[in-house]
Copies of this chain bind each other. A is one copy, B any other.
């Protein structure tokens, strides 16, 4: 492992050890045998930590119902990160033109039209519309793991366009969801520490777009709606957020009409682990070869 911190150095180490398999697109790469093995073991450790809670498992494809996405207000806040899916719906004559354009290396966007799906921007988005109307007395707890998309091409290895989020979502009263979020905040940090990761946590904000967005950042920080778990991966001074603990207030309850049994809107919270980032934090902290990781770390993952 390279000592010190460098984005390019860490990327090169990952490639050299065949932990990742590069493509020509920044932020899009394959995961190698060892990387995937560690990722599944970390994911299983999260499952064990969460097991006492008895969450309902749901898994969603990387494509999301466009109507749900439009309703979610994601495009108000993060238009630059969203990905929408287009397809060819033309005739055979159109197809001849499309083929010619592709083979000649010319743009072919004009033969693509918007479909009914977009790329899932955050793992929890498909969960809310799956509960409609009045929620149950004790609320809901859901366990998800989805591929999400963020259009932010970058050579920085932790800034991926496609990656997996393991999330848990709590739906209920304000008291219940905030207490649950705070419980996971501590549980998450404890879990990272148990793997020898020098994790800290801090209040944080989402990357809202534009000038209006900068005002929303202030609001989010002030109300402590988001905390992030941070580990140095490509910089010591600016550690990488590898997980987050989020309180949405009644944002999703309002958008998707989730009501409490005793009246009023349901509130929601979610905790999210960026699985690839967690794995990269392990490789940065303990080295590129898991067989030489500290015994205490190995025994937590290789049960």
Chain B residues lying within 8 Å of A130, measured Cβ to Cβ, are: 21, 23, 30
- Asked if A24 and B67 sit within 8 Å, CB to CB, the answer is yes
Asked if A134 lies at the interface with its beta carbon under 8 angstroms from chain B, I say: no
Asked if A7 lies at the interface with its beta carbon under 8 angstroms from chain B, I say: no
Contact with B along A69-88 (1 / 0, CB 8 A): 01000011001111111111
Contact with B along A132-150 (1 / 0, CB 8 A): 0000000000000001010
- On A, residues with C-beta under 8 Å from B are 21, 23-25, 28-33, 36-37, 56-68, 70, 75-76, 79-90, 92, 95, 98-99, 102, 105, 107-109, 111-117, 119, 126, 129-130, 147, 149, 151, 153, 160-163, 209-211
Given contacts A30-B59, A149-B63, contact A83 B92 (CB under 8 A): no
- Asked if B92 and A211 sit within 8 Å, CB to CB, the answer is yes
Give 10 CB contacts A-B under 8 Å.
A23-B129, A28-B117, A30-B60, A31-B60, A62-B147, A79-B95, A82-B88, A92-B209, A107-B114, A109-B114
Query: In this complex, what residue of B is CB-closest to A39?
Result: B59
Chain B residues lying within 8 Å of A98, measured Cβ to Cβ, are: 75, 79
Chain B residues lying within 8 Å of A76, measured Cβ to Cβ, are: 99, 102
Known: A21-B130, A23-B129. 15 other contacts (CB 8 A): A21-B58, A23-B130, A24-B68, A25-B66, A28-B117, A30-B60, A33-B57, A36-B59, A63-B119, A63-B149, A70-B105, A84-B85, A86-B109, A107-B114, A108-B114
- Asked if A86 and B88 sit within 8 Å, CB to CB, the answer is no
Chain B residues lying within 8 Å of A87, measured Cβ to Cβ, are: 80-84, 151
Our pick among B29, B30, B57, B113 for the contact of A109 (Cβ within 8 Å) is B113
Query: In this complex, what residue of B is CB-closest to A79?
Result: B88
Chain B residues lying within 8 Å of A163, measured Cβ to Cβ, are: 61
Chain B residues lying within 8 Å of A58, measured Cβ to Cβ, are: 21, 30-33
Chain B residues lying within 8 Å of A211, measured Cβ to Cβ, are: 92
Q: How far is the CA of A90 from the CA of B107 in the complex (A)?
A: 18
